[in-house]
Amino acid sequence: MVEQLGQWLMGVTCGAMVLALAVGLAPAGAPKRAAQLAGGLLLLLAVVKPLVHLDGSALTRAFTEYRLEAENSAQGLADTNKTLMTDIIEEQCAAYIQDKAAALGISCQVQVEADQTADYPIPKVVTVTGTLTGEEQQRLTEQIEADFAIPADRQYYESGGYHERTGGEGPLPLEE
């Protein structure tokens, strides 16, 4: 198809050059106007001729393939966008919670996991790592519930591999 387009463009360009030469060599007056009219009509024919021989089914197939490729690209971009948005939301929420904890006098590290099943990723699970007293843990839990509506059962507190909420070793598995 690209090759045919190149040939068509070459033909139109050559026709325009021949027309310019013919008009330039024609004597002034009626012969020049006749050369311009005839050359213009031939150039118009050269431009329109491919449209007459156009294969409708091939053109429809090409447009359909193009549309499908565009839809696939758009879906890929939407998926990438959602992944990037999820990463940003998780990082920003973790930073916010960590700042709130620091304001409460709590030193900790925070990790947030977002629910990606919704149209817009929302914070779902919070894991706080650090040595917190029961009172600090309670204040931070209440702050997270108030700011993000993440219930206490989806907030995990860890200290050196020891899970303080259950008294067991290692982190709890995430609940769905």
Question: Can you give the pLDDT at residue 157?
Answer: 93
Residue 126 within any structural domain of the chain: yes
Which one of 53, 73, 93 terminates a domain?
53
Specify the pLDDT at position 126: 96
Domain presence at residue 62: no
Scan for tokens 């310019």, then name that residue: 20
pLDDT at residue 80, rounded to an integer: 92
Q: Are residues 31 and 95 in the same domain?
A: no
The b-or-e profile of 14-50 (16+ CB within 10 A means b, else e) is ebeeebeeebeebeeeeeeeebeeebeeeeeebeeee
Same domain, residue pair 91 and 160: yes
When pLDDT is cut at 50, 70 and 90, the band that residue 168 belongs to is very low
Q: Are strands 162-163 and 122-129 parallel, antiparallel or unpaired?
A: unpaired
Q: Round the average pLDDT of the chain to a whole number and report it.
A: 85
28 or 56, which is more confident? 28
Q: Are residue 111 and residue 48 in the same domain, yes or no?
A: no
Q: Is the pLDDT of residue 173 over 70?
A: no
**The pLDDT value given to residue 1:** 64
Domain termination site, one of 38, 53, 68: 53
Does residue 145 carry a pLDDT above 90?
Answer: yes
Q: What is the CATH number of the domain that holds 90?
A: 3.30.300
pLDDT at 35 (0 to 100): 86
Strand partners, 156: 127
Mean pLDDT across the stretch 74-99? 94
Evaluate whether residue 23 is within a structural domain.
yes
Residue 164 is predicted with a pLDDT of: 47
Check whether residue 89 and residue 155 sit in a common domain: yes
39 contacts 23 by C-beta, under 8 angstroms: yes
Which residues are registered as beta bridge partners of 112?
126
Give pLDDT, residue 174.
Answer: 43
Domain of residue 6 covers 1-53
In a domain? residue 37:
yes
- In this structure, the answer to whether residues 92 and 150 fall within a common structural domain is yes
Alpha carbon of 107 to those of 14, 93, 110, 132, 145: distances in Å?
Answer: 78, 16, 10, 8, 19
Model pLDDT for residues 90-108, shown as the tens digit of each residue: 999 999 999 999 999 999 9
User: What per-residue confidence (pLDDT) applies to 90?
Assistant: 94
Same domain, 23 and 93: no
pLDDT of 160 higher than 90 = no
Q: Are residues 91 and 158 in the same domain?
A: yes
The answer to whether residue 33 sits within a structural domain is yes
Total number of domains in the chain: 2
Q: Is residue 156 part of a domain?
A: yes
Residue 63 lies in a domain: no
